[in-house]
Amino acid sequence: MTQQAGATAVAHTNIALIKYWGKADPVLNLPTTSSLSLTLKEYYTKTQVEEADVDSLLINELPQDAKRVHEFLNILREEVQDFPPLRVISTNKVPISAGLASSASSFAALTAAVAKFNNWQLSLEDLSRLARRGSGSATRSFFPDFAIWEKGHDDTSSYATHFDTPDMPIALVVCKISGLVKKVSSTEGMRRAQTSPNYAAWVEESARQLVDMEDALKKADIKRVGDIAEANSLGMHNLNLTAKDQRFTYFNAQTMQILDEVKALRQAGYTAYATMDAGPNVKIITTLNEANAIKESLAKRFLKIQFDIATPGPGISYE
């Protein structure tokens, strides 16, 4: 096996329409539920790896604490094959740690770049399974458009695959309320959520919502997709609010105002449904036709919030 001098991979981030919010096994990152996501064209991470003296990490040209990356690289060394220390150089077109899932694209790009560096011949499913150990949501960032992460029951059975649908004009209006680093990490947030008395019911509800979501996607019924995604996301955030151990919320006042606005837009006849992750930002599920009007209407009312339109994106690629 010969290593390349350097290798580069690009992974796009994804937004879960059915969320991963709880671990059945915190070491292996086995989830309590299966999840389903949309990959986004506009947000991505490009990661280059090259041989170095120690594992190190540079994001957008700034040196970072490499602890999490080093631990992940050691998992790959153990699980697949040993390789030398690496300098990891990432360009991140996703706000870090603010609920826009930068860890999804980061760990997917890193896994793919390391595999290319080492000339490992791995399937997308194998890459997805390995990336899971870095960040659960990274499992879904190898695939274009929609991906489903089957929760599985052990290390080998828990990975994502592409979920095939007819073409549909789905779009997101991303409301960037805060790009600040989140207060509660997703790992800690999940741990707390799992202490909610509502947790078992959410897991059951999530399985039903996934079946519904698959059906809505196969029929390209964007309104139904949005309706199910919004219910699933609010269910996830309800767990945080009702955690027995240190209840909390990722929402802030602006999150609530945007949620009201989404409801008003819906009453006015728009396709508009909200989904929120581990941060205050709201992503509004709508159609390509309506996205601009929704963005303009919100931009007029919320002068300090930045709005982007995001559309379905590609799977992993190499440079």
In the window 58-77, what residues touch ligand PMV (CB under 6 A)? none
* The two structure tokens encoding residue 316: 């992993």
CB of 159 to ligand PMV, least distance (A): 14
Q: Are 35 and 233 in contact (CB under 8 A)?
A: no
Please measure the distance between the N-terminal and C-terminal CA atoms of the chain and give it in whole angstroms: 20
Q: What are phi and psi of 125, to 5 degrees?
A: -65, -40
d(CA 285, CA 307): 13
Q: For ligand PMV, which residue of 49, 66, 101, 210 counts as binding (CB under 6 A)?
A: 101
Reduced to 3 states, what is the DSSP secondary structure of residue 60? coil
Reduced to 3 states, what is the DSSP secondary structure of residue 196? coil
* Pattern 127-156, ligand PMV, x by CB under 6 A: --------xxx-------------------
Q: Which stretch binds ligand PMV (CB under 6 A): 72-80, 82-90, 99-107, 253-261?
A: 99-107
* Pattern 1-40, ligand PMV, x by CB under 6 A: ---------------x--xxx-------------x-----
- Amino acid 163 reads F
* The two structure tokens encoding residue 229: 């995604």
Give 87-122 as a DSSP string: EEEEEE-S-TTSSS-HHHHHHHHHHHHHHHHTT---
Select 217 or 265, whichever has its Cβ closest to ligand PMV: 217
Residue 230 touches ligand PMV, criterion: CB under 6 A: no
Select 52 or 211, whichever has its Cβ closest to ligand PMV: 211
d(CA 26, CA 184): 16
Residue 160 touches ligand PMV, criterion: CB under 6 A: no
CB of 139 to ligand PMV, least distance (A): 8
Residue 45 touches ligand PMV, criterion: CB under 6 A: no
Residue 278 touches ligand PMV, criterion: CB under 6 A: yes
d(CA 263, CA 284): 11
**Contact residues for ligand PMV, defined by CB under 6 A:** 16, 19-21, 35, 101, 103-104, 135-137, 186, 277-278
